[in-house]
Amino acid sequence: MIEGIIIKGISSFYYVKTPDNHIYECKARGIFRKEKIIPAVGDRVIIDTKPDDTGTICKILERDNYLIRPPVANINLAIIVFSFTMPEPNVNLLDRFLVTIEKNDIEACITLNKADLVDPQIREKMVAIYEGAGYDVICTSTKTEEGIAKLKEKLKDRITIFAGPSGVGKSSLLNAIQPGLSLQTGELSLKAERGKHTTRHVELMELDIGGSVLDTPGFSSLDMVDIEEEELTYMFPEFEGFTQNCRFKGCRHLNEPQCEIKSRVASQEIAASRYDSYLLLLKEIQEQRRY
Ligand SMILES: Nc1nc2c(ncn2[C@@H]2O[C@H](COP(=O)(O)OP(=O)(O)OP(=O)(O)O)[C@@H](O)[C@H]2O)c(=O)[nH]1
Ligand SMILES: [Mg+2]
Ligand SMILES: [Zn+2]
């Protein structure tokens, strides 16, 4: 019995790396399926090994956290990658992802890639929204290498997930950070301006500077994590500090009179797009509750 970390999962096989850098191809014990526990990349596990480098996952050690999509465990930093263009950023999807990360108490850093393709005004506007919301924002380009050193610094000694839509440049950024990785990247189809899911599985890779990174396939939608209506406010960091001035305790910032959030949106201290995302998510949560 030895301990290791799941670094990759392909169909029902899990690749487990042990401290001596050995990789075992493992199957999970049947009991997991019965209990509906699915091993995830990043899981610390106890395996039973055979001389032919195969093994069985006998136990999943307690998780620090777990993201459903993509399914990963035990990360401590999320780099949320969107591109300024090709594909155009879907801010609602970005806000959804941020809410998921907040809910899981994981540190988030927003990386806006393809800075080489955007004009300065659009760029500043986007950066202002998210810096204004209290997030760390890094603008990058794998073509000009802008921001790559800064991003790399951020990853040192952490377990980081790279997540974002297909085609935004997640794998390209990781290749720029550590050229030896040689991850496959996709040509963007000019007509659709969308990515084609070049990365097909989640993989955990070690970095020379210390720490490890997870490259993941792009996602184009994100189901809401289990969040209560009254909890949603706290998933928008920039609302904090204002909500206590709403007239009603437990204000949903919807139609209530004297809502501080709404007046801060009107005075542009809170970005309208962020408030719109809040409303969309609130509606979704309320609808889910009805069933
Ligand atoms: N102009 C420009 N193109 C970039 C940049 N970064 C990546 N690309 C291009 O964008 C396309 C998609 O890059 P990938 O790294 O495969 O994107 P991905 O996010 O890994 O996509 P999936 O694996 O499908 O989720 C490729 O054609 C890259 O060459 C950048 O900074 N500037
Ligand atoms: Mg990729
Ligand atoms: Zn309010």
- In the predicted structure, residue 290 carries a pLDDT above the cut 80: no
- In the predicted structure, residue 246 carries a pLDDT above the cut 60: yes
The predicted structure's pLDDT at residue 194? 64
Q: Measured in angstroms, how far is the CA atom of residue 195 from the centroid of ligand 2?
A: 9
Give the separation between CA 104 and CA 98, rounded to whole angstroms: 10
Domain annotation for the chain: domains and CATH numbers: 2-62 (2.40.50.140), 67-215 (3.40.50.300), 229-289 (1.10.40.50)
The predicted structure's pLDDT at residue 222? 79
From residue 49, give the alpha-carbon distance in Å to each of 22, 70, 231: 11, 27, 44
User: Dihedral through CA 115, CA 118, CA 119, CA 123, nearest 10?
Assistant: -60
% residues pLDDT > 90 (the chain):
82
CB-based contacts of 122: which residues, under 8 Å, 6+ apart? 84
From residue 287, give the alpha-carbon distance in Å to each of 78, 102, 229, 265: 29, 22, 10, 24
Where does ligand 1 bind, in terms of residues with CB under 6 Å?
A: 113-114, 116-117, 141-143, 166-172, 185-188, 195, 197-199, 217-218
Q: Measured in angstroms, how far is the CA atom of residue 16 from the centroid of ligand 2?
A: 22
Q: Are 139 and 168 in contact (CB under 8 A)?
A: no
Calculate the average pLDDT of the chain.
93
Ligand found nearest the CA of 198 = 1
Tell which one of 79, 172, 205, 216 to mutate to probe ligand 1, the residue whose CB is within 8 A of the most ligand atoms.
172
pLDDT digits (tens, 9 = 90+) for 4-50: 999 999 988 999 999 999 999 999 998 888 888 889 999 999 999 99
pLDDT digits (tens, 9 = 90+) for 191-228: 556 667 888 889 999 999 999 999 999 988 777 778 99
Tell which one of 93, 116, 117, 185 to mutate to probe ligand 1, the residue whose CB is within 8 A of the most ligand atoms.
185
